[in-house]
Structures are given as structure tokens and as C-alpha cells.
């Protein structure tokens, strides 16, 4: 059997990955995280740097040094590829130490001895429960919670979504940049 096909170029591979991973209405967890980060980056604009490749402790950063603002982007979806989430929970991920690789990968960058390793969380919420109408790539179906870490009890690792919705008001995508700016200015 001969293979007379042309070798695909970078754009061909890129487009194929997008088609395979992001063309369904319900995304797997890792791909949904990519969508959530892209939505937040698109809302905040080019002044924010994406630093979250790999296992970096935060995803987006504005500025540098002690005046920087760090955002960890998280997401929750009611619909999963295996079915509906029964008890949606925000996971904050308090850590008792910085990651062991942080200094190696980020020489000279300051980080706390313990904590959330960010200044605020943006939780992207896809709360469409109807599987037939859910589209996790549609920005209009998402809402967002902007939660400064100073609002959290020390060492809190998680909170059920219903309690979080009692404490913080979800916003839609057009309001996200302004809300982040208001919260960041209080830090």
C-alpha cells in the first residue's frame, strides 16, 4: 500500500486538532479548560499575559514584580462527556508549598511559601443542564465569578457552587474585564 499523500503543514495539523477537540458541544475537561482560559484572555485583552502553560501556579498575569496581579482560571460545567455533574464544586487548591519545580522554571520570580498562588480566581461557569442545548464553546452560555483570594478563608480548598452563588454574583462575558479591573484595584 503506497502513501501518496502530501505531508500536512502546521496549519493543517492545527485545524485538524481544533476540529477533533473543539467541534463537539460537550468538551472533555482539559479542552474545556482551554476554552475557559481563552474566554477570559479575550475579555481582558492584550495587557494580560498568558503564563499558564504546563503546570504554572497561575494562568494570567498583569504587570510584574510585587505589583503584579495573578489570575487562576478555573471552570465548572454541568454537562460532562460522561453525563451531568451531580454536585458542582469550586476547587481553590490551597497548597502548603510552592510547586517543587517553580524556582527551576521561574528563577527569581517571587511566590508565597503557601497559599493559592494567585490574587484572584475567575471561575467560568457553564450551567446549561440541557444536553441538547449545551454548547461549551459558545461564550453566551458562560457566566463568570471573580473571586479575590482575600475573600476566602485561609486554607479553604473548595466550596459547593450553591454556596459560592450566595456569596458572589455571576456576570456575563461583556462585564468580565470591568469586574476584574474593579477587583484588581482593591488588591
Q: Quick check: is 149 in a domain?
A: yes
Q: Quick check: is 15 in a domain?
A: no
pLDDT over 70 (residue 13): yes
Determine the structural domain holding residue 159 and report its residue range: 28-186
- Least Cα distance to 28 among 79, 74, 73, 86 occurs for 79
For 49-68, what is each residue's pLDDT tens digit? Answer: 999 887 899 999 999 988 99
Q: Quick check: is 22 in a domain?
A: no
pLDDT at 2: 63
Q: Quick check: is 7 in a domain?
A: no
pLDDT at 12: 94
Q: Quick check: is 172 in a domain?
A: yes
Q: Quick check: is 13 in a domain?
A: no
What CATH number is attached to the domain comprising 132? 3.40.1350
Number of domains in the chain: 1
Amino acid at each position: 500500500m503506497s502513501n501518496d499523500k502530501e505531508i500536512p503543514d502546521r496549519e493543517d495539523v492545527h485545524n485538524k486538532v481544533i476540529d477533533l477537540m473543539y467541534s463537539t458541544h460537550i468538551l472533555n475537561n482539559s479542552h474545556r479548560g482551554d476554552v475557559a482560559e481563552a474566554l477570559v484572555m479575550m475579555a481582558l485583552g492584550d495587557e494580560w499575559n498568558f503564563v499558564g502553560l504546563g503546570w504554572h501556579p497561575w494562568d494570567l498575569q498583569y504587570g510584574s514584580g510585587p505589583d503584579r496581579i495573578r489570575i487562576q482560571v478555573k471552570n465548572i460545567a454541568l454537562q460532562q462527556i460522561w453525563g451531568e455533574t451531580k454536585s458542582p464544586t469550586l476547587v481553590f487548591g490551597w497548597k502548603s508549598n510552592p510547586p517543587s519545580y517553580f524556582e527551576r522554571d521561574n528563577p527569581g520570580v517571587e511566590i508565597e511559601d503557601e497559599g493559592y498562588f494567585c490574587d484572584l480566581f475567575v471561575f467560568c461557569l457553564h450551567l446549561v443542564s440541557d444536553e441538547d442545548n449545551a454548547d461549551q464553546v459558545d461564550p453566551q452560555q458562560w457566566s463568570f465569578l471573580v473571586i479575590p483570594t482575600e475573600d476566602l478563608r485561609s486554607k479553604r480548598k473548595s466550596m459547593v457552587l450553591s454556596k459560592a452563588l450566595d456569596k458572589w454574583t455571576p456576570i456575563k462575558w461583556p462585564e468580565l474585564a470591568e469586574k476584574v479591573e474593579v477587583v484588581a484595584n482593591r488588591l
